[in-house]
Amino acid sequence: MTTTKKIFGVALVCLSALLLGAPATAEVLATVNGTEITDADLKIAAEDLGSSVPQQLQGKARDAYLLDYLIDSELVAQKAEADKLDQDPDFAKRLAYYRGKVLAEALLGKVAKDAVTPEKLQQAYDAAAKEQKPQTEIHARHILVDSQAEAEAALKRIKAGEDFAKVAKEVSKDAAEDGGDLGWFTKDRMIPEFADAAFKLNAGDVSEPVKTQFGWHIIKVEGKRQTTFPPFDQVKGQVQTFVAQQAQAELIEQLHKDAKIVRTASAPVAPATPGAPTGAPTPAQTTPAPAAAPTPPDKK
């Protein structure tokens, strides 16, 4: 871990402790020239560093690593203060930035926590389930080759009684190792020529050669069914994320409405690009769909 990262890290840790306050029962784990480092500081450091802590460190080894980090950070911070770096105008600007960042995260975290109630989760799930209309999906295999002659030769072998998956493994250019298995998919997941041919077949049927931009296909439908909306427990995490981020987005939108924001002539403006998003990203722009029936990735 570089010295620069440690300096920024200790600034965040100290600022978080000032804003959130250490619990009255905080246990002192070490002192650095008289400055205490507590288990509350350790918790904040763990949240701040997150996945940057080596994954192989768990339990006490992880705690020891974090404590070493805090001790090093405190030593560096004390030296920086002795050198009067805290009096530098740049330090004040950075401290103000991180103060605002931590405050914003604290408020957004509270808003998210307050929003995720059983009632709101159920409402969001029910609304998503109502919007999702049942669709037909099929489980299919295919053989993909370069020419019509190759496709007709493969089809002849299958009609003669050879196993479709076996032929696919021997001649197909796509998903050959899986016997051409494409899994379950809805019609909109495939290119039109392939989808139109596949969805006309019944379970067990094999198509005539089908031409697409990728080559020539032979399709076998293994099964057909109607999509079902996943049960609440299966998508609860997605619903929680949706409800929380929706509440955060609504807060930010309301704050914008109530505020007087003036951009000066020197403020940067993103160049106009057709279809490109404008403005700063908000939680709403990164909110995943609350719940959706799983679909396979696009394949040829």
Q: At residue 179, does pLDDT exceed 70?
A: yes
Give the global pTM. Answer: 0.58
pLDDT at 134: 85
User: Which pLDDT band, with edges at 50, 70 and 90, does 275 fall under?
Assistant: low
Q: How far apart are CA 78 and CA 37, in angstroms?
A: 13
Domain ranges of the chain: 3-113, 116-132+230-257+284-300, 136-226
Which of residues 155 and 48 earns the better pLDDT score? 155
Residue partners of 43: CB distance under 8 A and separation at least 6: none
CATH class of the domain defined by 136-226: alpha beta
User: First vs last Cα of the chain: how many Å apart?
Assistant: 46
For residues 24-45, average pLDDT? 91
Closest CA to 33 of 4, 74, 88: 74
* Most confident listed range (129-133, 134-138, 280-284): 134-138
Q: What pLDDT digit, counting tens, does each position of 85-110 carry?
A: 999 999 999 999 999 999 999 999 99
- pLDDT, residue 298, reads 42
Residue 169's pLDDT is: 94
Q: What own/partner pairs with CB < 8 Å and gap ≥ 24 does 94-101 have?
A: 94/11, 95/11, 95/15, 98/11, 98/12, 98/15, 99/15, 99/19
- Considering only CA atoms, which of 114, 100, 105, 97 is closest in space to residue 48? 105
Token pair of 31, please?
């002192």
Other beta carbons within 10 Å of 46: 15
Rounded Cα distance between 64 and 68, Å, is 6
Res 135 pLDDT > 60: yes
Does pLDDT of 233 surpass 90? yes
Question: What is the overall mean pLDDT for the chain?
Answer: 84
Picking from 5-14, 23-32, 110-119, which range would have the lowest pLDDT averaged per residue? 5-14
